[in-house]
């Protein structure tokens, strides 16, 4: 697997048109890197040129959570990244993270940034991890950015665990439904055979064909679809589908990305980073790739004279009250404090989204149980009373 390459056209700081090719994991990262160069009016196009990067196994959210939490503590205590990640290479349990930590420590010893090494390990560090760490390096808040990522993966672990239970419940409901559907045919087969063995023989025959193979095929297709969507090149597609999910799941994902964007933007502004570079880095720090790209595109034409409120409106992602708040902050010069308030609002929205998801999943589970139970009851009753006279007559004739 290789990184994507993007051909770009843009305008440099002098107003001169430029073009070229840039390598990145996705369009959001490409836009971010080009904006950091001071380019404006950026337009991207996919290219077929490829660039190699380091492929590894996967790491779980819990693994990244422990890594970032320990790294934040060590660096906050005054230990430099070289020593911090060198120490963590011997403490993390995931062998691929051990390899990455060793590489980060070796490169940091030569003065290369942590994020520059992280971006090579596409299977371990998502785009938002790299961008958040890079923002922390540029804005002088690296320990805080690592702590933010640790909290992000704590919440992600809890959310995925809830989904795991819901998925397990779904499979159990599906299996119960399928196996119960076979009962009427098996019952009448046993009735005509006059033995319990006839019931079980018919039931087993139905499991062997066609129910068993069809069930296995559906399971294979389900997990194959999951595997395809989880490939790096399909990240944007997967994330765009997540944004469209009901029961508050899509709204939660959107608010999670907005919160990360605002938090990063606030800290970059506080650290004295310019508006264009701050917007680009904050955009890429959004966990949802679709949101990150929309934010990057909204701020792609920003200059030092462009009000941030214009980009907020152009993105179409923020609640209507956010743009007036930013306009007021631009007039008063109180941008950092305003972004603090917006981060608090986003936190409240995110917490409300978590509650909506929990209630939505519980409600969906109840609805599926009621519908499944009702359909199954109708099927069983119909399978008995709808056939009883015909089957008895057939039995008499035999």
Within a domain: residue 133? no
CB atoms within 10 A of CB 25: 22
Within a domain: residue 352? yes
Do 40 and 175 belong to one domain?
Answer: no
Tokens standing for residue 268: 């970059």
Within a domain: residue 131? no
- List Cα–Cα distances, 59 to 24, 26, 94, in angstroms: 21, 20, 7
Within a domain: residue 56? no
Q: Band of the pLDDT at 239, cuts 50, 70, 90?
A: very high
Do 226 and 321 belong to one domain?
Answer: yes
Please tell me the distance from the alpha carbon of residue 151 to that of residue 289, in angstroms, as a whole number: 19
Q: Could you please report the per-residue DSSP string of 339-398?
A: HHHHHHHHHHHHHHHHHHHHHHHHHHHHHHHHHHHHHHHHHHHHHHHTTHHHHHHHHHH-
Whole-model pTM: value is 0.80
Please tell me the distance from the alpha carbon of residue 121 to that of residue 21, in angstroms, as a whole number: 21
Q: Provide mean pLDDT across the span 132-160.
A: 94
Within a domain: residue 237? yes
**CA geometry: angle at 282 spanning 107 and 63, to 5°?**
55
pLDDT, the chain, mean: 87
Please tell me the distance from the alpha carbon of residue 188 to that of residue 192, in angstroms, as a whole number: 6
Of the candidates 319, 322, 335, which has an alpha carbon nearest to the alpha carbon of residue 254?
A: 319
**CA geometry: angle at 306 spanning 301 and 311, to 5°?**
60
Do 256 and 374 belong to one domain?
Answer: yes
Do 295 and 266 belong to one domain?
Answer: yes
Do 69 and 175 belong to one domain?
Answer: no
Please tell me the distance from the alpha carbon of residue 1 to that of residue 16, in angstroms, as a whole number: 35
Distance of CA 351 to the CA centre of its chain: 17
Q: Band of the pLDDT at 51, cuts 50, 70, 90?
A: very low
- DSSP 8-class letter at 211: I
Please indicate whether residue 300 or residue 112 has the higher confidence score (pLDDT): 112
Q: What is the total count of domains within the chain?
A: 3
Helices (H), the chain: 27-36, 61-76, 81-88, 95-109, 114-118, 127-139, 142-181, 183-193, 196-206, 212-229, 235-243, 249-270, 275-284, 289-298, 308-315, 322-332, 335-385, 388-397
Do 285 and 213 belong to one domain?
Answer: yes
Please indicate whether residue 152 or residue 363 has the higher confidence score (pLDDT): 152
Question: Which pLDDT belongs to residue 315?
Answer: 87
Mean pLDDT is highest, among 52-61, 141-150, 163-172, 215-224, for 141-150
- DSSP 8-class letter at 77: T
Last residue of a domain, one of 76, 98, 125: 125
Please tell me the distance from the alpha carbon of residue 50 to that of residue 307, in angstroms, as a whole number: 36
Please tell me the distance from the alpha carbon of residue 195 to that of residue 200, in angstroms, as a whole number: 9
pLDDT in tens, 97-142: 999 999 999 988 888 889 989 988 989 999 999 999 999 999 999 9
pLDDT > 70 fraction of the chain, expressed in percent and rounded: 91
Within a domain: residue 135? no
Do 190 and 286 belong to one domain?
Answer: yes
Quick check: 36 pLDDT over 70? no
Do the beta carbons of residue 267 and residue 261 sit within 8 Å? no
Question: Which pLDDT belongs to residue 185?
Answer: 92
Last residue of a domain, one of 77, 97, 125: 125
The phi and psi torsions of 169 (rounded to 5 degrees) equal -60, -40
Within a domain: residue 130? no
Do 87 and 147 belong to one domain?
Answer: no
Do 89 and 206 belong to one domain?
Answer: no
Please tell me the distance from the alpha carbon of residue 267 to that of residue 145, in angstroms, as a whole number: 9
Do 382 and 307 belong to one domain?
Answer: yes
Please indicate whether residue 387 or residue 33 has the higher confidence score (pLDDT): 387
Of the candidates 18, 22, 42, 21, which has an alpha carbon nearest to the alpha carbon of residue 30?
A: 22
Within a domain: residue 134? no
Of the candidates 249, 326, 254, 238, which has an alpha carbon nearest to the alpha carbon of residue 295?
A: 254
Please tell me the distance from the alpha carbon of residue 107 to that of residue 114, in angstroms, as a whole number: 8
Do 120 and 161 belong to one domain?
Answer: no
Last residue of a domain, one of 125, 148, 180: 125
Please tell me the distance from the alpha carbon of residue 96 to that of residue 102, in angstroms, as a whole number: 10
The domain containing residue 16 runs over which residues?
A: 3-51
Query: Of 14-18, 47-51, 248-252, 309-313, where does mean pLDDT reach its minimum?
Result: 47-51
Please indicate whether residue 323 or residue 204 has the higher confidence score (pLDDT): 204
pLDDT in tens, 55-78: 899 999 999 999 999 999 999 999
Do 303 and 362 belong to one domain?
Answer: yes
- List Cα–Cα distances, 290 to 70, 95, 341, 356, in angstroms: 30, 30, 25, 22
Tokens standing for residue 22: 């840039």
């Amino acid at each position: 697997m290789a990184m994507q390459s993007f051909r770009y056209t843009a305008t440099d700081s002098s107003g001169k048109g430029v073009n070229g090719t840039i390598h990145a994991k996705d369009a959001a990262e490409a836009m971010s890197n080009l904006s950091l160069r001071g380019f404006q009016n950026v337009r991207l196009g996919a290219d077929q040129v490829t660039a190699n990067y380091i492929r590894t196994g996967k790491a779980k959210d819990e693994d990244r959570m422990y890594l970032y939490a320990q790294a934040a503590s060590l660096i906050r205590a005054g230990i430099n990244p070289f020593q911090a990640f060198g120490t963590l290479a011997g403490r993390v349990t995931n062998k691929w993270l051990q390899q990455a930590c060793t590489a980060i420590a070796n490169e940091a010893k030569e003065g290369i940034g942590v994020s520059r090494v992280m971006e090579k390990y596409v299977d371990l560090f998502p785009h938002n991890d790299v961008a958040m760490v890079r923002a922390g390096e540029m804005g002088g808040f690296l320990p805080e950015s690592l702590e933010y990522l640790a909290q992000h993966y704590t919440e992600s672990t809890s959310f995925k665990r809830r989904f795991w239970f819901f998925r397990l419940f779904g499979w159990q409901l599906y299996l119960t439904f399928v196996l119960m559907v076979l009962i009427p045919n098996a019952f009448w087969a046993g009735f005509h055979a006059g033995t319990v063995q006839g019931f079980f023989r018919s039931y087993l025959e139905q499991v062997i064909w066609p129910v068993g193979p069809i069930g296995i095929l559906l399971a294979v297709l389900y997990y194959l679809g999951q595997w395809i969507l989880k490939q790096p090149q399909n990240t944007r597609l997967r994330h765009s589908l997540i944004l469209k999910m009901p029961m508050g799941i899509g709204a939660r994902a959107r608010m999670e990305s907005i919160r990360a964007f605002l938090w990063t933007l606030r800290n970059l502004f506080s650290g004295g980073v310019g508006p264009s570079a701050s917007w680009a880095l904050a955009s890429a720090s959004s966990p949802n790739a679709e949101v990150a790209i929309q934010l990057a595109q909204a701020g792609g034409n920003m200059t030092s004279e462009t009000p941030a409120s214009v980009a907020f409106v152009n993105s179409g992602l923020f609640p209507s009250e956010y743009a007036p708040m930013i306009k007021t902050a631009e007039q008063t010069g109180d941008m950092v404090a305003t972004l603090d308030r917006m981060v608090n609002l986003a936190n409240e929205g995110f917490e409300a989204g978590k509650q909506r998801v929990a209630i939505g999943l519980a409600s969906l589970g109840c609805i599926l149980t009621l519908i499944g139970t009702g359909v199954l009851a109708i099927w069983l009753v119909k399978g008995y009373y709808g056939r009883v006279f015909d089957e008895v007559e057939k039995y008499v004739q035999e």
